Chains A and B, each alone.
Chain A
């Protein structure tokens, strides 16, 4: 799925049948989902929790689904921009850099999800601010003062290639 967002549901979503209703709503509106985390309450009083990635081929379809899910109690998790750090020396990634962990990574930079080019596992993700692009680079290519993505905040992996 080209576009996706994460939603969270909390409450007595099993007994109320809210969870199946959410799934039906996604599928019935040309979306897809991946349940990332489901925690079911152990007693009648306990609330349950679900974190679901909702996807669609078109942004307007996704937005339409998210609007409907919001009416069913879903909280849409806000996208968080990437955090950047500066390389302290040639051949050194900044502390806490995000190593490439998938082949189809995107990062949220300047309010846009941009692809990480030339991905190779464990490379760092270097930002070219002038061009607004991101490239995976080997440690030997790192130059002092370059900007790299730190942590996984604002980084996501598309399951299918564009």
Chain B
């Protein structure tokens, strides 16, 4: 996939608290957020040469900027999310409508199970790694396996600061990943070791900069600033790493990867 969906942060701010990073008394600097988002957009478009589609933001939905959480796409099939928190649930209809209008097959999961899209489901070769506990239910994984006809590896998250899989796990190529192991339980760590031969372990002081919430395209990676050890390691492996300022979005518990969905 070489196309992504983004949503301008016109109405982004910290209006509620649904993860440990959010604090309604620590609001975002909306002008700075706009600049940071535009910088990300420009790098993805101009440096990484990724095609970008945009969805119209909604004034009542400040977290729409985090498009990754809206669903999961493969082969023109869009599995739409069942957001855990009521504050984000109205996003479902807006994203479903967008995908329908753009020719995708929109597929819903049983409403009794939560699922937060690419936030908790990441492709690695012929496998989907899928996180559960905080935002998504493991029950959804068998539906994803059937819809996409792919293996889905369920991994349990154990640290509420890394509440989505894409905050602590970043696939690079078919058999390589960088991740923060302490965000997973022991079974998940063993499964990751069993199935992914090349693993780069990220230290806590770098993991909290949201460095795992990175956008990877070919040999280029975009992430928030602050993870110099990881940057160096990735450069040794031949990647070009763009570290950019995304501090206003960290306030909401999101970073680069959260702001795109591969479509």
Contacts and interface: CB of A to CB of B under 8 A. Distances in A.
Interface string B190-201: 110011000000
Given A11-B152, A15-B153, A72 B126 contact: no
B138 A12 contact: no
A47 B149 CA distance: 10
B213 interface: no
A65 B145 CA distance: 26
A15 B188 CA distance: 10
A96 interface: no
A17 B156 CA distance: 11
Contacts of A12: 141, 145, 151-154
A15 B187 contact: no
Contacts of A73: 137-139, 141-142, 154
B138 A18 contact: yes
Contacts of A11: 138, 141-142, 145, 152, 154
Interface of A is mostly: loop
17 contacts: A10-B142, A11-B141, A12-B152, A12-B154, A15-B195, A16-B154, A16-B187, A18-B154, A20-B187, A45-B145, A45-B150, A45-B151, A47-B142, A47-B146, A73-B137, A73-B142, A73-B154
Interface of B: 126-127, 133, 137-139, 141-142, 145-146, 149-155, 187-188, 190-191, 194-195
Contacts, number: 54
A46 to B, nearest CB: 9
Interface string A67-95: 00001110100000000000000000000
B187 A21 contact: yes
A44 interface: yes
B138 A71 contact: yes
A20 B188 CA distance: 12
Contacts of A44: 126-127, 151
Contacts of B188: 17
Nearest to A10: B142
Nearest to B189: A17
A71 to B, nearest CB: 7
Interface string A15-36: 1111011000000000000000
A159 to B, nearest CB: 29
Given A44-B126, A45-B150, A16 B155 contact: yes
- Which 10 pairs from chain A and chain B are nearest by CB? A73-B138, A11-B142, A16-B154, A17-B187, A10-B142, A21-B187, A16-B153, A44-B151, A17-B191, A12-B151
Contacts of B145: 11-12, 45, 47
B138 A72 contact: yes
Nearest to B126: A44
A16 B193 CA distance: 11
